[in-house]
A and B are shown apart, each in its own frame.
Chain A
């Protein structure tokens, strides 16, 4: 009986160490900034869905374009109707791997520099990208941050907004707390 108990404890402790469950959040934040002139063109999305597997670094981020909120509603409508065509392409996503996930120790507090490699889909166009980011571990909780730019032309985003100047490259910031 004692032997079995020991075996059970051994097995369960081994399980605890090796199996790092899927990290996920549904309320990640994505910020978008394409200010090219005097008028700021920026928006926030608070409903970013992010799943990450610490064992192999696999990561899937999905967000809904209609979830971006601008200060100015007319700008938001233009963004949805003329630029991102969000009725036709409601989703944007990133699917890929954090290539150096082995350098992140999820049990030790710290800020770890990581690189993600994968496919970014915006406006129905897939592009391979490599982007830097950080994983922060603090008292057992992990969070993921990334800050990168995309060329709007790469995703066939074009429109004719009168007045405001839109930058050719948009800055995107992702912040997910697991």
Chain B
């Protein structure tokens, strides 16, 4: 009799765990770069790495959390109203293009900035998404 109670209660527990995973955890789990340990790199170094050898740079930086430091070259807005920042990469054809997770209207061109976000690869710019501002001046 005791055996049955244990078996039935463990079956119920497993079922609850599966339901939790499918309906609650799966729906709420979100990657947040702010909680991740990041690789700190300058925009110039990052742009050089991608222009020099894209596969190698991807192996090192793709999908990783990065803290990118540099000088703001351009500030813009995307179609959703979020702020985009282009950080100078000391290269006329290539820079670091970042999209912030939350809009920030107080970013100035030619000032120093440090942002943390996920590197998603290289088009003609190195692209950083879901970014947060670490520091600016």
- Chain A residues in contact with chain B, CB under 8 A? 26-29, 46-47, 49, 62-67, 72-74, 87, 90-91, 163, 175, 177
Contacts A72-B26, A73-B30, A73-B31; A64 near B121 (Cβ below 8 A): yes
Residues of A within 8 A of B63 (CB): 66, 87
Question: How distant is B33 from chain A, measured CB to nearest CB, in Å?
Answer: 13
Residue in A26, A28, A47, A72 whose beta carbon sits within 8 Å of that of B120 in the complex: A47
Contacts A26-B97, A46-B99, A72-B27; A63 near B123 (Cβ below 8 A): yes
Check B121–A91 contact: CB distance below 8 A.
yes
Check A67–B80 contact: CB distance below 8 A.
no
The answer to the question of B51 belonging to the interface, with a C-beta cut-off of 8 Å to chain A, is no
Residues of A within 8 A of B122 (CB): 64, 90
Check A26–B84 contact: CB distance below 8 A.
yes
Contacts A27-B99, A67-B129, A73-B31; A91 near B26 (Cβ below 8 A): no
Question: How distant is B59 from chain A, measured CB to nearest CB, in Å?
Answer: 9
Count of A-B contacts judged by CB separation below 8 Å: 70
Question: How distant is B130 from chain A, measured CB to nearest CB, in Å?
Answer: 8
Q: Which residue of B lies closest to A66 (CB)?
A: B120
The answer to the question of B58 belonging to the interface, with a C-beta cut-off of 8 Å to chain A, is yes
24 contacts between A and B (CB under 8 A): A26-B76, A26-B97, A26-B123, A27-B76, A27-B77, A29-B80, A46-B79, A46-B80, A47-B78, A47-B120, A47-B129, A49-B123, A49-B124, A62-B124, A64-B120, A65-B120, A66-B129, A67-B121, A67-B129, A73-B29, A73-B30, A90-B122, A91-B123, A175-B79
Task: Count residues on chain B whose CB falls below 8 Å from chain A CBs.
Answer: 28
- Chain B residues in contact with chain A, CB under 8 A? 22, 26-27, 29-31, 58, 62-63, 76-80, 82, 84, 86, 97, 99, 118, 120-125, 127, 129
Residues of B within 8 A of A177 (CB): 79
Residues of B within 8 A of A74 (CB): 26, 29
Residues of A within 8 A of B79 (CB): 27-29, 46, 175, 177
Question: How distant is A98 from chain B, measured CB to nearest CB, in Å?
Answer: 20
Residues of A within 8 A of B26 (CB): 72, 74
Residue in B27, B29, B80, B125 whose beta carbon sits within 8 Å of that of A26 in the complex: B125
